[in-house]
Structure 1
Amino acid sequence: MDERLLARLAERVSDAHSYLHIEEKSAELARLDEETARPGFWDDVPRAQRISKQAGNLRDTLKEYAAACGALDDARAAFELSSEDEAFSEEARIAAASLDDMLDALELSSWFSGRFDEGDAILTINPGQGGLEANDWCEMLFQMYTRYAGSKGWKATVLDAVPAEVMGLDRATIQIEGRNAYGMLSSEVGVHRLVRISPTDEKERRHTTFASVEVLPVLPDDIEVDLNPADVRVDVYRSSGPGGQCVNTTDSAVRLTHIPTGIVVTCQNQKSQLQNKEAAFRVLKARLFELEEAKRAEQIDELRGERKEISFGSQIRNYVLYPYQLVKDLRSGVETGNVDAVLGGEIDQLVIGYHKWRVSQ
């Protein structure tokens, strides 16, 4: 490590102080901590939970910035000592590399400044053209996102996963809870194209199939949505998917039909009818909010992106398993030949690559 690298890292730490608005965040956290200490704070549980989560996110950002400052001090100290003892050179190099990674993560988190970016997400996968192949592809994406959420330390709750008649899934909806979950996963909105040798084709021919991914924010309780319960038809039925005790043996699954818009939401993977109903209303509320936003803007909703037919020519990303191995995002140009890793949930380079491209536009 040389003085130029150290100066560059110091400049990046200074930049982070500015773009993270450290002073403002510190003041806001102090205000929230004061509010949480007041008597009766937990009398309104939903509001208290929302404020506690907001304070937690601020505290995490401030801790990460403080850690970067500490790493810079460590790198400086090791660099100064390396002139007297060569053994400190390696320590300085390791400290600089660690600081570089910290600053990359801080820069990434700064990109998510949208209204709901820091919050949780509702991710839905629907099969497109391709028949049985599309159902199988739907399940493959479902597994990919579930594993990705696990790798990020996020909580993934399956709200709806309907098995297809022969293989795969007819649809899947997952609620993903974690810091910046909605902001990060907004990269996945659109049509995903798979090319491979079909496991159902006796002649082993190459097939192309599609699935669409929709990502909506989990709306805070203080967001008002025009939802009249009288406009919603509630149907209950027996769950069709695998589940725990009581699932499949009672009418626990819930289908909501919003009569004015025709929006249909189903949820069947929670343990009770009440839990399924609450989850379904959460999804319906998000979709109605999306619809209202689109009407206000008089354009396609930015929360979900432009809706396209789930078929060739409309995809955002290609996953090619044959005749070669390649995953390529058609917006950012990021690609990798390690298809197995991607389908196993290692999609960070694609997600981050998309957001780098988005910020640069």
Structure 2
Amino acid sequence: MSGGFFELSKKADQIKEIDAKLTDPAIWGKPQEAARLQKDKKILNGFLIIDKKLIAAVEELEAYFQLIDEDPELLPELEEKMTHFQDFVEETEVKNYLDGESDASNAFLSIHPGAGGTESQDWAEILLRMYLRFGERLGFKAEITDILAGEEAGIKSVTVRYEGEFAFGYLKEEIGVHRLVRISPFDANKRRHTSFAAVFVIPEVDDSIRIDIDAKDLRIDTYRSSGKGGQHVNRTDSAVRITHLPTNTVAQCQSERSQHQNKDQAIKMLRSRLYDLEMKKQQRAKDKIEDSKGGIAWGNQIRSYVMQPYQSIKDHRTAIERGDVQRVLDGDIIGFIKESLKLRK
């Protein structure tokens, strides 16, 4: 499947080929193949939309350049459009590097604070806000499926489901330890503290990938969902925790109103975690890629965020540094992701 830009006719032809295969009645006897074709078509349509937007933006800028001599007052408007265009180009450039097997999938992102109690838990919540804002920037649908609040502030753990094209491809570059240095708002003596939080990302497994789960290997527990501060937000045991006994893999969900909906979401998450577990097992066996979770340890962080005595963010993989800390914490991390993806090529 071609994923380059400005190959409109080629992509249109590929979509026609897929449509022809999908109209063949025989394909529906192969549900995994049908699901894969539908997924490929969705990706190609996404690229077509981006191509058309880029072409339209270029044509609009060309029109402004032609008018600027006659009407200099259009210059501020042109500069604003140029800035938006540059941001859009940077985002679309990233897609050229997203060709991994699961890059086009939805994703589950989890954040776990390190040692340090309230400090690290507050940092984990700051990261959660950053990733939710990042999802908004890219038009992803984000849903917190499970969250455990800290006693005083912050969160002890959280899992977010992202729905959108290439959600996993983007977010997988954030796997690792994130370090924060700041004057603690929880320290009466206003001392500087260092906090850590780990980010894990796995792809959501769709119907094109077969994951066999035996019902007898599952333990399903129900409990009352809780909100900020630990208070119960539902009077019934609607939250669901599912444990895959052979691997001791756990998935839980409390975001939906009904037990049935939470169970469906937890099963979806469990399938993704088991798939991720199997992929890592194969990677270790082939000695190609180090186990991403096993490689995470306090001290080998991927990025440092310094708030005081100066403001700086340094990505330790790419050596990229930025001083606009608040802009990054507001979700502007696409530049870090792009440079990290380029290193993989």
**Which TM-score bucket, shorter chain as reference?**
0.7 to 0.9
For 2:200 and 2:53, locate their aligned partners in 1 and report how far apart those are by CA, in whole Å.
35
Once the two structures are overlaid, the 10-residue window that deviates more, 38-47 or 233-242, is 38-47
The 8 Å contact of residues 283 and 290 in structure 2, kept in 1 or not, is answered as no
The 8 Å contact of residues 284 and 290 in structure 2, kept in 1 or not, is answered as no
Among 169, 173, 176, the residue aligned to 1:183: 169
After superposition, residues 269-308 of structure 1 pair within 5 angstroms as 269-299=255-285, 305-308=292-295
Aligned to 2:203: 217
Change beyond 3 A, Cα 1:158–1:48: farther
How many positions carry a matched residue from both structures?
A: 337
Change beyond 3 A, Cα 1:118–1:88: farther
Change beyond 3 A, Cα 1:30–1:333: same
The alignment partner of 1:331 has SS state of coil
Amino acid paired to 1:112: L
For 2:128 and 2:236, locate their aligned partners in 1 and report how far apart those are by CA, in whole Å.
25
**How much identity, in percent, do the aligned residues show?**
37
Amino acid paired to 1:267: C
Among 157, 166, 169, the residue aligned to 2:155: 169
The 8 Å contact of residues 127 and 137 in structure 1, kept in 2 or not, is answered as yes
After superposition, residues 90-239 of structure 1 pair within 5 angstroms as 104-239=90-225
Return the offset for 1:351.
2.0
Which ranges of structure 2 fall in alignment gaps of 5 or more residues? none
Once the two structures are overlaid, the 10-residue window that deviates more, 105-114 or 282-291, is 105-114
Return the offset for 1:53.
5.2
The 8 Å contact of residues 127 and 135 in structure 1, kept in 2 or not, is answered as yes
The 8 Å contact of residues 225 and 285 in structure 1, kept in 2 or not, is answered as yes
Aligned to 1:320: 306
Return the offset for 1:161.
1.1
Change beyond 3 A, Cα 1:242–1:134: closer
Aligned to 1:7: none
The alignment partner of 2:302 has SS state of strand
After superposition, residues 34-45 of structure 1 pair within 5 angstroms as 34=20
Amino acid paired to 2:150: A
After superposition, residues 44-63 of structure 1 pair within 5 angstroms as 52=38, 54-63=40-49
Return the offset for 1:176.
0.5
Change beyond 3 A, Cα 1:263–1:141: same
Aligned to 1:330: 316
The 8 Å contact of residues 291 and 301 in structure 1, kept in 2 or not, is answered as no
For 2:64 and 2:309, locate their aligned partners in 1 and report how far apart those are by CA, in whole Å.
50
Return the offset for 1:67.
4.9
The alignment partner of 1:167 has SS state of coil
Change beyond 3 A, Cα 1:204–1:234: same
For 2:331 and 2:4, locate their aligned partners in 1 and report how far apart those are by CA, in whole Å.
33
For 2:165 and 2:288, locate their aligned partners in 1 and report how far apart those are by CA, in whole Å.
23
Return the offset for 1:131.
1.3
For 1:17 and 1:54, locate their aligned partners in 2 and report how far apart those are by CA, in whole Å.
10
Change beyond 3 A, Cα 1:30–1:343: same
Return the offset for 1:353.
2.7
The 8 Å contact of residues 125 and 173 in structure 1, kept in 2 or not, is answered as yes
Change beyond 3 A, Cα 1:25–1:269: same
Among 322, 328, 333, the residue aligned to 1:347: 333
Once the two structures are overlaid, the 10-residue window that deviates more, 300-309 or 256-265, is 300-309
Change beyond 3 A, Cα 1:50–1:146: farther
For 2:89 and 2:28, locate their aligned partners in 1 and report how far apart those are by CA, in whole Å.
36
Among 244, 258, 270, the residue aligned to 2:244: 258
Amino acid paired to 2:279: E
For 1:303 and 1:147, locate their aligned partners in 2 and report how far apart those are by CA, in whole Å.
29
Change beyond 3 A, Cα 1:78–1:275: closer
Once the two structures are overlaid, the 10-residue window that deviates more, 220-229 or 124-133, is 220-229
Tell me the C-alpha RMSD between the 2 structures: 3.7
The 8 Å contact of residues 203 and 276 in structure 2, kept in 1 or not, is answered as no
Return the offset for 1:227.
2.0
What's the CA shift string for 1:176-223, capped at 9, x where partnerless?
A: 011111101111000111111122212111111111101100111131
Change beyond 3 A, Cα 1:59–1:264: closer
Aligned to 2:227: 241
For 2:162 and 2:288, locate their aligned partners in 1 and report how far apart those are by CA, in whole Å.
21
What's the CA shift string for 1:243-299, capped at 9, x where partnerless?
A: 9xx942111111112211122222112211111111111121111112212222325
The 8 Å contact of residues 123 and 175 in structure 1, kept in 2 or not, is answered as yes
Change beyond 3 A, Cα 1:294–1:42: closer
